[in-house]
Every structure is written in C-alpha cells, then in structure tokens.
Amino acid sequence: MVVSLSRQGNVGIITVDHPPVNAISAAVRAGILEALAQAQADGALEALVLAASGRTFMAGADITEFAKGPAGPTFHEVCQALEAAPKPIVAALHGTAFGGGLELALCCTARVAVPSAQVGLPEVKLGILPGAGGTQRLPRLVGVAAALDIIVSGDPVAAPQAAKAGVVDALIEGDLLAGAVAYAQSLLAKGQPYRRVRDITIDPESIPADFFAAARARFAKERRNQFAPQKIVDAVEAAVVLDIDAGLERERALIAECFVHPQARALQHVFFAERQVAKIPNLAKETQSRPIAKVAIIGAGTMGGGIAMNFANAGIPVTLLEVSAEGLERGLGVVRKNYEASAAKGKLTAAQVEARMAHITPTLAYSDLADADLIIEAVFETLDVKRQVFQELDKVAKAGAILASNTSYLSIDTIAQYTTRPADVVGLHFFSPANVMRLLEIVRGEKTAPDVLATSLELARRIKKIGVVAGNCHGFIGNRMLEGYGREANLLVLEGASPAQVDKVLFDFGMPMGAFAMSDMAGLDIGYRSRKERQLTNLQARAGRVGDKLVEAGRLGLKSGAGFYDYAPGSRTPMPSDATAQIIAQVQAGEGISARKIDDQEILERCFFALVNEGLKILGEGMAYRASDIDIVYINGYGFPAYRGGPMHWAENAIGLKTLLERLQHYAAQTGAPWWTPAPLLERLVSEGRSLASI
Ligand code: 3H9
C-alpha cells in the first residue's frame, strides 16, 4: 500500500510510502484521496497529519508519468480534497518537499518541518511550471516577488528560511511526527476557522504597475530563450489579477503549454540522463570503491589549485605539490583570492575561508604524497612531463593509491605504462575553472580497474561534480567533439563570415559565448602550440591559419587585450577588430579563397553538425556508453543549453537523424573533408529506423 492511514488518539496520520522519493504517482494520488475519505468518515478523528516515510516527504509529481499522459485522479482533485477537508491537516515535512509535494502541503492547514528539510518548486528545471496550485498559493503566502524568484529559480529553500518566509509554520526539533501531532492538537485547541492559503488575498495595488513587464524583460535576459520562466510570470500575474479558482484554471492552461513545448521534453531528458550517467554497464553492483580520505594534487597552477579547492570544499585534506616555493606560493595565493572573492559575495564566512585553506597542505617533496589515497596530476600537457611525474609517483605512492591524470588529450594508456600499476591509473579531466565547472570526465584506460572507476564516480558525487565515463581517445568526449566545432567556425570565417557573425549565431542558439570569444578567453596560444606539435592535414592547417597569424602578431586573446576581437583596456567585451579583418583577408588571399556571403543557417549547421557527427563516431566506437552521457558532457562542461537537451538530443529531436545524415552527406560532397563523412552509426540508425536511445 503506497498510502496508509494510522491513528494517534484523535489525530489520523496519512503516510505516503513510495520509495525512493515518494513521487506522487497516480497510485499515490488515489491513495491520498482514499485515506482522506476514510479519515473524514471516521468520527474519532478530529485532525490529520500528512507525512511520508523514508528519506523524504513527497519530492514532486512522478516525472516518469509525464510522457505517458494523464491517468488516475488529477493533482487538482487531490488539492481540492485536502483544501476542502473540514478537519485541519498538518503537513509534516522532511527531506525535500519539492514540486507537487510542496503544492499538496500548501493545500493543508499548516506545515511543520524538521530544520534539515528543504522546500522548493523545481518544475522550471523540467521545462514546466508548478501545476498543482504552486503559482497561485505561494504568492499568497510569501508575497509576489519572493514567490516569483523561488519559482523561476527552482532552487530549494532551507526549512529555517522557509519558516521565516511563512511557508513553514513551525520547525520541529526532534521527532517530526510527534511534533506534527502536537501541532494538530494546537490547531484544534485554537478552533475554527482554520486558515487556508487560498483565502489570503493579494492587493493588486501593492504590486508596482511595471512589475510583470520588468520580470519578463529580466528573465528574457537571465533565462535567455527559455519558455517556462515566461509562462511562470504569466501564472504569477494571474494570481494577482484573477481570483483563486480562475487563477488555478489559468495555471493549468499554462502548464499544458509547457508540457507540449520541446524544452520540457529536453529538460526531462536531461533529468534522467543525469541519473543514468552514473550507471556503468558491466560494472558489477558489488564493486567496492576504495576509501579516499586524503588527496594529493601535483601542480599548483590554475588547474591544480582549482582541483584542490574541490576537495578542500568537501572537507577532504589535500596536499598540493609544486616544484618551486614561488610556484606554490603563487598557487596558494590564487586559491585564497578565489575563496576571499566568495566571502566578499557573502557565500562563505571568514572562518570558512580559513577552514578551507587549512585543508590544503603545500609541499615541495614527492615523499609527502606517500599517504595519499588519490593523487591527481595537473602539470604541463606533454607526454614527457607526464612520464617524469608518473615514474616518480610509482616510486612514492602507497599500494592501492589511485593515480590520476588531468590530461585533456593525452593517452591514459600511455601514461599508465609509465607505472608498474596501470590498473590504478585513470583520467580525471576537470574543466576550467575547476572549482566551478560541474563536469568531470572520468577516462577509463584499457587496464583501469573496475573499483578505480567506481571510486572515481563516487568521488565525483562527493565533490558535487557530475562524473561521466569516457573511453581513451584523443580529446576524450568533450574536446574531441569541440575540435570539429572550432574548426568549422574558423573555416566559415575564412570563407567570408566574420567572427562576430559566427559568434552571434552560436550565442543566439544558446551557447554562453561564441567560439571566437571563447578562444580569446582561453588564450589563442594554446591552440597555436597544439597545432605546432601535431601533424595536421592541409584542411586542418588551413582552419588554424588565422589563429596562427593572430598569435604571431602578438594577439593572444583577452590576456593580451586583443585576439580575434579587440578589447578596450580593462574591458572583457569583445569588439570587432579591423586588424583581425586584415589578417583574415591576407589568409584568404594566400589560400586563394574569395569571400562569400554566408547565411546563419549554414553557420549553425556546420558548427553543430560537425560536433554531433563526432559525437556519433565516439558513440559508435564505444568511447561513450550512451548518447545521453554525451549530452551531459556538453551541458556541464561546455555550456550547451540544457533546454535543448544536449547536442545529441537536439540532433535527434530538433533536426532528425535522417535530415542530419542528408546534411552531412551534403557537406561531405561539397568540401571533401573527411570529418563530414557520416558516422557509420548514424547510417545504421537511419537505415534501421532506430533511435539513439536504442543503442
Ligand atoms: C511536479 O511536481 C509537477 C507538479 O507541479 C504537478 C503538475 C501537475 N519522479 O535524484 P536521485 C528517481 S514536477 C520520478 O538520484 P537524490 C530518480 O530518477 C517534479 N522519479 O536521488 C532516481 O531513480 P533511479 C518536481 C524520480 O537523493 C531515484 O528517484 N520535483 C523523481 O540524489 C533517486 O533520485 C522534482 O523535480 C520524480 N519526481 O535526490 C524533484 N525524483 O534510482 C526531482 C527522483 O532509477 N528530484 N526520482 O535512477 C530530485 O530533485 C531529486 O531526486 C531529490 C533526491 C532531491 C528528490
């Protein structure tokens, strides 16, 4: 039984028991209605408690039902039944009272919570809006502006804050159920009328005339291209201008619009993809991970320092090794500055800054790494340097220590060979800034032990990253795909598009910045060095030629005040550059290219189809377990808009695999470049009429 009714004296307790998160499925909705009816009919019961067992109060609607369409009693019916009940009902919150869970609680007479509980309306993260009255009841309870922020952010609110805001009526220290029953008794003692959120009125005059127009404009910027936030504004406005029943009806119409929007499907895909990603095929469930109590990082540069912060933040002691005292001091200085910047924003207290710094022990001696359970190398990106480091590690690391490389491109198998323990070697590829970016690519070498993989995944979760396992190939998943995207952006510029035109198309699509602004930010010398070190085909070399000339002219990007773009002193705003235009013209002349007008659609297709085609090759080669893992990489490591579901979801749903194949064939015929050859996997999927999820 997913819902049961028990009794404590004159208080009936309705308990939802639907692990793991008490998602409000059709059975739960029906169960609550039935328990409520029973409780109403029971003359011995004067008040009720609505609670949930297990780790959390109801964490929202059952998301797996969204794709199936409506079944069973509606949320609206359950809300109405709770709200219309003549006996007072106290919702007892613990864990995460999210979405529909909070919405049902808002239909109760009062809410009590343990201090560790969280409440929230995260529907926006699924591309929808709270459709069980949240947009109508929360503004009545906490005010219009506060409610709008909570609903559009989708972020959780801790119970103590929720109590201050009026969402929670009392915090219960100790036994929640006992506290809820006592609260129900106190309501009975006070007697009727019991307060209902629906009866609270909002005075439209109290809302500034331009409030909703300003909110729409703000979210158009902060939530660029996103559908649900605008609908949320509409819904909250309805709470102000309509009566509650008309407002609820409007909310239902608005959520219906969200449900059929492609962004909802995309974001729900991302929700499940994020949970799928940690499931490694062929990794035995009973695989024990290795304990990680102490970590060491080699290299206190930007990357090493950022990586160290992750562990310090999680309370894991970390030893930071550099070759020189100055390097160490500089690295620690940067870490401290980062923490102090967080403190200045009020995100950390001064004491927390010190506590985190105290978790980092600097050293110049490899012998100090002997007790580390995990050692991550973040040194210069050449095999020669990696060899020296791993040979040294092999001597000093204790047996069973995991030896990880933060390399972005180099072969983990080659690196593993520098040790006598290749099974302990793994790639842990962090993304810059390493203390901020959520992605961690976990690179599985040929000999990487299963428990090393399992430990890496668990560790990712511990340091609040999302770990994605990748196979060992040049650039792994993310950077391998990025190469084609960047190359096409550069070729488009040689053919006649301006960097600003290309960047605008990419930005308007939803990327945080265009390819050229990103190159300028990263520094053009990085690509320059890597091109010099590698054997390039003519076409690859051509794609890098403008970048090469810019570097040779001293335009290294943002750090030198000029790159593809010009930058005013002290400014980070890219401005179209005449000097770059001249360099482009020179390269065009040298290559015998006459510039043509390029339309935006071609830019979009060439950049993203090149990226997706490489993704399909990666998938076909088994370098990623699932297409959805690739989506997670791109969303969390490269800022691909989550509301498009990631590049693979986008290609399949917004473009269609058949159209993609035709366009790849078109570009292959047009340019002859080998990277346009369609991935064999794509050809197979199209010819067999199969989907990406089927592999
Ligand atoms: C909503 O309420 C709409 C309403 O307005 C009404 C409209 C009419 N449904 O995340 P975890 C599964 S929209 C179905 O790893 P944690 C999840 O897939 C909903 N399944 O645990 C996973 O399955 P598996 C608004 C769900 O402890 C397992 O539970 N609510 C749901 O790290 C464990 O999940 C939300 O958006 C669900 N609602 O985090 C809350 N939730 O083991 C979404 C989870 O097979 N949920 N599962 O992979 C969360 O944010 C987190 O799951 C939570 C727990 C914080 C609760």
Determine the distance separating the centroid of ligand 1 and the alpha carbon of 23, expressed in angstroms. 7
Order of strands across the sheet with 118-120?
96-98, 118-120, 157-158
Query: What sign does the CA torsion over 172, 177, 183, 189 have?
Result: negative
pLDDT at 381: 86
Is 237 labeled as catalytic in the residue annotation?
Answer: no
Query: Which atom of ligand 1 is nearest to 121's Cα?
Result: 25
Distance CA 309, CA 464 (A): 12
- Which two structure tokens, joined as six digits, stand for 21? 């998160």
SS (HEC) of 284-341: CCCCCCCCCCCEEEECCCHHHHHHHHHHHHCCCCEEEECCCHHHHHHHHHHHHHHHHH
pLDDT for the residue numbered 607: 98
Is beta strand 11-16 parallel, antiparallel or unpaired with respect to 3-8? antiparallel
Bridge partners (DSSP) listed for residue 120: 98
Q: Is the CB of 20 under 6 A from ligand 1?
A: yes
Ligand 1 binding pocket includes 202 (Cβ within 6 Å): no
Give the Å distances, CA to CA, from 45 to 17, 104, 302, 610.
Answer: 21, 21, 64, 66
Asked if residue 75 lies in contact with residue 24, where contact means CB atoms within 8 angstroms, the answer is yes
Tell me what pLDDT residue 608 has: 98
Residue 276's Cβ-count burial label (10 Å; 0-12, 13-18, 19+) is middle
Among 63, 153, 269, 271, the mutation site with the greatest number of ligand 1 atoms within 8 A of its Cβ is 63
Residue 105 Cα to ligand 1 midpoint, Å, equals 17
Question: What sign results for the dihedral spanned by CA atoms 504, 509, 512, 515?
Answer: negative
407/474 Cα distance (integer angstroms)? 10
Question: Is the CB of residue 23 below 6 angstroms from any atom belonging to ligand 1?
Answer: yes
Rg over CA atoms, the chain = 28
Q: What is the pLDDT of residue 695?
A: 84
What is the DSSP code (8-state) at residue 401?
-
pTM given for the model: 0.95
Q: What are phi and psi of 314, to 5 degrees?
A: -90, 5
Which one is catalytic: 83, 103, 237, 605?
103
If we measure between CA atoms, which residue out of 379, 332, 333, 341 comes closest to residue 360?
A: 332
Q: Which atom of ligand 1 is nearest to the CA of 61?
A: 2
Cα gap 97→158, rounded to integer Å: 10
Helices of type H across 553-626:
578-591, 600-620
Residue nearest to ligand 1 atom 8, measured at CA: 131
Q: List, run by run, the mean pLDDT of 10-residue segments along the chain (695 residues).
A: 96 98 98 98 98 98 90 96 97 98 98 98 98 98 97 98 97 97 97 94 94 98 98 98 97 97 98 95 90 98 96 98 96 96 95 97 97 96 94 97 96 97 98 95 97 97 98 95 95 97 98 96 88 84 94 95 96 96 96 96 98 98 97 98 98 98 97 93 97 92
Tell me how many helices (H) and strands (E) the chain has: 28, 17
From CA 15, how far away is CA 51, in angstroms rounded? Answer: 5
Q: Which ranges constitute the DSSP H helices of 108-210?
A: 134-142, 144-153, 159-165, 176-190
Backbone angles phi, psi at 20, to 5 degrees: -85, -20
User: Quick check: 540 and 552 in contact, CB under 8 A?
Assistant: no
Q: Which residue type does 198 have?
A: R
Q: Whose CA is nearest to atom 43 of ligand 1?
A: 59
Angle of helix 144-153 versus helix 211-222 axis, rounded to 10: 20
- Closest ligand 1 atom, CA of 101? 2
Name the burial class of residue 464, with classes exposed (0-12), middle (13-18) and buried (19+) by CB atoms within 10 angstroms of its CB.
exposed
Within a 10 A sphere around the Cβ of 592, how many other Cβ atoms?
Answer: 6
In the set 83, 123, 237, 274, the catalytic residue is 123
Question: Are residues 102 and 96 in contact, defined by beta-carbon separation less than 8 angstroms?
Answer: no
Element (H, E) at 265: helix 262-276
75 ligand 1 Cβ < 6 A: yes
Tell me, using a 6 A CB cutoff, whether residue 99 lines ligand 1.
yes
Nearest partner of 452 among 624, 291, 295, 318, judged by Cα: 291
Does the annotation count 123 as an active-site position?
yes
- Cβ of residue 64 lying under 6 Å from some atom of ligand 1: yes
Tell the residue number behind the tokens 């320059």, with chain if given: 528
Return the pLDDT at 120: 98
DSSP state at residue 575: B
Please tell me the number of Cα atoms within 13 Å of 564 on its side-chain side: 27
pLDDT of residue 529: 85
Q: Which two tokens stand for residue 660?
A: 């993609």
Cis-peptide, bond into residue 122, ω within 30° of zero: no
Query: How far is ligand 1, taken at its centre, from the CA of residue 61, in Å?
Result: 8
Q: In what order do the strands lie in the sheet with 295-298?
A: 360-363, 318-321, 295-298, 374-377, 402-405, 425-430, 439-444, 466-471
Q: Are 151 and 145 in contact (CB under 8 A)?
A: no
Return phi, psi of residue 90, to 5°.
Answer: -110, 125
Alpha-carbon distance of 221 to 57, in angstroms, equals: 34
Alpha-carbon distance of 242 to 203, in angstroms, equals 11
Residue 515 Ramachandran class (φ > 0 left, ψ -120 to 50 alpha, else beta) = alpha
Torsion (CA) 161, 163, 164, 165 in degrees, nearest 10: 90
